[in-house]
Chains A and B, each alone.
Chain A
Amino acid sequence: MAVLEMNHIKKVFGGLTVLEDISLHVDEGEVLSIIGPSGSGKSTILRCATFLEKIDGGEFSYMGRKAAWEENGSVKYADKASLKEIKKNFGLVFQNFNLFPHYSVMKNLTDAPLNVQKRQKDEVMAQAEDLLKQMGLSDKGDAYPYQLSGGQSQRVAIARALMLNPGILFFDEPTSALDPELTGEVLRVIKSLADKNMTMVIVTHEMKFAHDISDRMIFIDGGVIVEDCTPEEMFSSKNERLQSFLGKLETTY
């Protein structure tokens, strides 16, 4: 069963159709990368999937549970209680981390599990310590976000998302806000998650990374999916838009 399935998603921002007709599915354990030019709607896909934006057409579901669908020509979302359950399926890692500056690293990780999910303190603390260790941040539990480098911040943000044991983790350009010398440490962490069969959707401009880590890649342009294929097929595609995009990238990066 697909962890996430989106069909014919449409999104309009005040007259500007950003997503025209997006259909994609992510299977369990799969790593999907989304690439495409700036402004093509990559972030918008993730924001629609995580309920930060409302869709204007189409339908999507998590683990077979419908989150939103069309009914009599308009989009209907599941009721509040169902949405609360559905939202437990995913986590999102932002480009600029969005850590809570007034909470220590430890509290950033544990506050939602303790106070939103109401889980047992011992178990939550143990999980947090374990994750910090995995992220190579064991000594940073008491630090505050302002004391962290960009790479450390992003690793904390990833750990924070993992604390909720999401079935699928979304990344929106997780290394774009980082100094080049710090991207490696974050990409390594994401790679290690892939090795553990974490289901992930990654929007990225890091082509080599996307090629290496992805099971499947999507190239989006002008609000539609132009290519949906394996990394090998992607980089050997003869599609003109894709070639011009990859060509441009090579010259700029």
Chain B
Amino acid sequence: MSLSTMLVQMGDGMLKSISIFIWTLVLSLPLGLIVSFGRMSKNRILRGIVTFYISVMRGTPLMLQLLVVYFGPYYLFQANIGAYRYTAIIFGFVVNYAAYFAEIFRSGIQSMPKGQYEAADVLGYSRSQAFMKIILPQVMKRILPPVTNETITLVKDTSLAYALAYSEMFSIAKQIAAAQTTFTPLIVAAVFYYIFNYVVAGIMSYIEKKLSYYR
């Protein structure tokens, strides 16, 4: 197999990896914020449930979670899961990453000084206005470093989709390597993940610079 055919085949996998990455990020960040509200809720039952969910997500391997999400419906209801693979992957990733992001949001929100809420309250901001305009923007800045860490981990974690035999980057690389008995696709894969993360880190540091206009 020529390098160019290999690259074409792997290119398709790269797009799939990137799509897992983007969908996970776009969905799990807002979901994580909502989950963090549940985690901080005054309602003990809700808080208990959310806390348990977060601890399970963080305390068990993501690969195992993906398998459960994908095969669960089949084992439980004999459901036909043939067309469900991609959805299962996104669902599994989102539910897992939302748990991590929820903890990050929570620590960010709880680190905000009480005085910011009080100043907003006295100035007439409603609770939601205060949160959206005064608190959340500052929380975003505070949590950028841990969010960057998770995002970089996510780039590498997309390779776990291979556990569901989804033909993303890593699966294809492994396949070709095995079939052609060559090491090259693995090197290509490594370079891909490295560049991917290089770009992600660049974007994050751009955002960080954007937010450095205040302290």
Interface of A toward B, CB cutoff 8 Å: 50-52, 84, 87-88, 90-92, 94, 96, 98-102, 111-112, 115-117, 144-146, 160-161, 164
Contact = CB atoms under 8 A, between A and B. Distances in A.
Interface in B166-215: 213-215
Interface string B121-157: 1111110010001100110010000000000000000
B213 A144 contact: yes
A98 B129 CA distance: 17
Interface in B8-24: none
A145 B126 CA distance: 23
Contact of A98 (B116, B124, B141): B116
A157 to B, nearest CB: 8
Contact of A164 (B119, B123, B134): B123
B61 interface: no
Given A87-B124, A102-B141, A144-B214, A94 B118 contact: yes
B82 interface: no
Contacts of A145: 214
A160 B118 contact: no
16 contacts: A50-B122, A84-B124, A87-B122, A88-B124, A92-B122, A94-B115, A98-B116, A99-B119, A100-B134, A111-B133, A112-B123, A112-B125, A115-B129, A144-B213, A160-B123, A161-B122
Interface in B92-140: 113, 115-116, 118-126, 129, 133-134, 137-138
B133 A117 contact: no
A138 B125 CA distance: 26
A201 to B, nearest CB: 14
A116 B123 contact: yes
Nearest to B213: A144
Contacts of B124: 84, 87-88, 112, 116-117, 164
Contacts, number: 56
A115 B113 CA distance: 23
Interface residues of B, number: 21
The 7 closest A-B pairs by CB, nearest first: A98-B119, A98-B115, A146-B215, A112-B123, A116-B124, A92-B122, A144-B214
Nearest to B121: A52
Contact of B119 (A94, A144, A146): A94
B119 A100 contact: yes
Nearest to B140: A102
A51 B121 contact: yes
A99 B123 CA distance: 11
B116 to A, nearest CB: 6
Given A92-B122, A116-B124, 19 more contacts: A50-B122, A52-B122, A91-B122, A94-B119, A96-B115, A98-B115, A100-B116, A100-B134, A101-B138, A102-B141, A111-B133, A112-B124, A115-B133, A116-B125, A116-B129, A117-B124, A144-B213, A144-B214, A164-B123
B52 to A, nearest CB: 29
A136 B118 CA distance: 26
A52 B118 contact: yes
In this complex, the member of A91, A96, A98 whose beta carbon has the largest number of chain B beta carbons within 10 angstroms is A98
Given A52-B118, A94-B118, A98-B119, A146 B125 contact: no
Contacts of B118: 52, 94, 98
Given A92-B122, A112-B125, A146 B214 contact: yes
Contacts of B115: 94, 96, 98
Contacts of B122: 50, 52, 87, 90-92, 161
A139 to B, nearest CB: 18
